[in-house]
Structure 1
Amino acid sequence: MMPRDSMTSTVQKIARQALTTFRNPSAVGEHGKVFLENLSKLKSLVAEVRAADLRIAPRTSASAPVPSQRVAPPVTYMHIYETDTFSMGVFLLKTGASIPLHDHPGMHGMLKVIYGKVRISCFDRLDKPRDGASGAHFSPPLVPFQSSSLRPAVLRSVGEYTEENGPCVLSPQKDNIHQIDAVDGPTAFLDILSPPYDPDEGRDCHYYKVLHAHSEASDRKSEAQEQGDLWLMEIPQPSEFWCGGEPYPGPEVSL
């Protein structure tokens, strides 16, 4: 007879480790030893997951659903499991689709591509413009509302991920705001968030637009390349983005 744990599905093991990692909110800290050890174990498990483990067949442009693009959602979500501690599911993006720039208030997250390729652009909000980016030569963009609604930001990273890459990890303090773009065809990724979105608890999803600051010392081209010259403006959910739902076909999770 096979050992019990060898019969446990990959997604079940991931769910168990996610619960262990995040279930004690007071102990979840950026530098807590136990938390970091558990987070490392979770990253290792998530790094190994593949589409086959979730019984999801990689899609191609040719195998995409036939319905009119005017009504078919650009992104769909397969719900796997959710508790008060974490949520887990799979996002599927069609060719050319994007999940717009959005935040995860007070949340940790982990994203692992299971097929295709995504480009992830990560931003952080700043309390004030970075050193050297303040003063007369750095001011918020001219917009038809109070500049207090803008927040200085920094572009932390832009990277492309496939199933061969490890997971992209976000925390409440780092890489918390990001945009996800499908590259060269359809793509899908496993997504873990802790705690889950909950508007009643102040964890609602907000969308943003990146604005480049006015700089007297640079022209538009160089200005767009200056990480310190970025501001985030909260916007409504973009009209071209909406998310549909699909049944999850993989192994059941039970905790």
Structure 2
Amino acid sequence: VLQDNMASLIQKIARQAALTFSFGSSTVGENKIYVQNFTKLKSLLTEIRAEDLNLTPRKSDPSVPISVPQNPPVTYMHICETASFSMGIFLLKSGTSIPLHDHPGMNGMLKVLYGKVKISCFDKLDKPFDASIDQFSPTLLSFQKEALKRSIFRSVGEYTEASSPCILSPQKDNLHQIIAVDGPAAFMDILAPPYDSDDGRDCHYYKVVHPACEREEDNLQHLVQQEVWLLEIPPPANFWCGGEPYPGPEVTL
């Protein structure tokens, strides 16, 4: 017990995540032990701050263009990964975003460390398309129509370091877009289980094609709680993620 009391907060979070997700996502339902462990993990994650991870909030640098190869719009600090979960920190430059993407069969927890992010969440619907698809999207090719996903635009909200974690599950809020608002931002991210293309957990990107939007981030808000159509797209050319060393306390599992 004494050793655990002396452990860093990030070490406690990692241990709790390992305990929570060690039995896989099949325990997510109404399993009482899982719910208790998940609640404890969320509580610990709510406490984490940038200074606990030796992370200094970045400032905007208008002299550096966002889109040069040496200057990725988003970077990632890897903290740890096991077969049951991964944990790391995403850093977003001012005005950048992580495009709309999914987390197949995965749980996620996102806690802002500094700055402000706007998160738009969607749920896929298991509903077939009907003939009206041609009326609304006459320019789509047949293979694109097959790639369309019906979904509900579940929510949009702004999160800061004072906010509780944003939670996603395999069924709810599984697709989301994250935009840095009014300056650089960083958040800690737990995914359970981790992405693994060999096990059917690859990341896919989407854009809203109906109702038509000129710029997704500006025009989505009025669509909350409405059905929208998403088209799976290649990774956007203006988005890529670089790597940075993690500066915080060591985590061992």
What TM-score do the two structures reach when normalised by structure 1?
0.87
Alignment of 1:144 onto 2:141: yes
Change (3 A) 1:94 1:200: same
Q: Which runs of 4+ in 1 moved over 4 A?
A: 64-69, 133-140
Q: Which amino acid aligns with 2:84?
A: T
Q: SS where residue 252 of structure 1 aligns?
A: coil
Q: How does 1:172-251 map to 2 (within 5 A)?
A: 172-213=170-211, 225=223, 227-251=225-249
Q: Which residue number in structure 2 is paired with residue 218 of structure 1?
A: none
Q: How many residues end up aligned between the 2 structures?
A: 243
Alignment of 1:54 onto 2:53: yes
Residue by residue, what CA displacement relative to the aligned partner does 1:71-98 show, whole Å, maximum 9, x if unpaired? 2100000000001010000000000010
| Deviation of the 1:46 alpha carbon | 0.2
Question: Which whole-Å CA distance do the structure 1 matches of 2:156 and 2:43 have between them?
Answer: 22
Structure 2, gaps ≥5 residues long: 213-218
Q: Which amino acid aligns with 1:211?
A: V
Question: Which whole-Å CA distance do the structure 2 matches of 1:84 and 1:27 have between them?
Answer: 15
Q: SS where residue 111 of structure 2 aligns?
A: strand
Change (3 A) 1:211 1:27: closer
Contact 1:101 1:178 in 2 (8 A): yes
Question: Which whole-Å CA distance do the structure 2 matches of 1:227 and 1:183 have between them?
Answer: 23
Contact 1:76 1:244 in 2 (8 A): yes
Change (3 A) 1:37 1:135: farther
Identity of aligned residues (%): 59
Q: Which residue number in structure 1 is paired with residue 156 of structure 2?
A: 158
Contact 2:66 2:72 in 1 (8 A): no
Q: Which amino acid aligns with 2:101?
A: H
Q: SS where residue 250 of structure 1 aligns?
A: coil
Q: Which residue number in structure 2 is paired with residue 97 of structure 1?
A: 96
Q: SS where residue 37 of structure 1 aligns?
A: helix
RMSD: 2.6
Question: Which whole-Å CA distance do the structure 1 matches of 2:160 and 2:64 have between them?
Answer: 25
Q: How does 1:49-128 map to 2 (within 5 A)?
A: 49-62=48-61, 69-71=67-69, 72-128=71-127
Question: Which whole-Å CA distance do the structure 2 matches of 1:213 and 1:42 have between them?
Answer: 38
Structure 1, gaps ≥5 residues long: 215-220
Q: Which residue number in structure 1 is paired with residue 215 of structure 2?
A: none
Contact 1:87 1:192 in 2 (8 A): yes
Change (3 A) 1:137 1:16: closer
| Deviation of the 1:66 alpha carbon | 5.4
Q: Which amino acid aligns with 1:239?
A: A
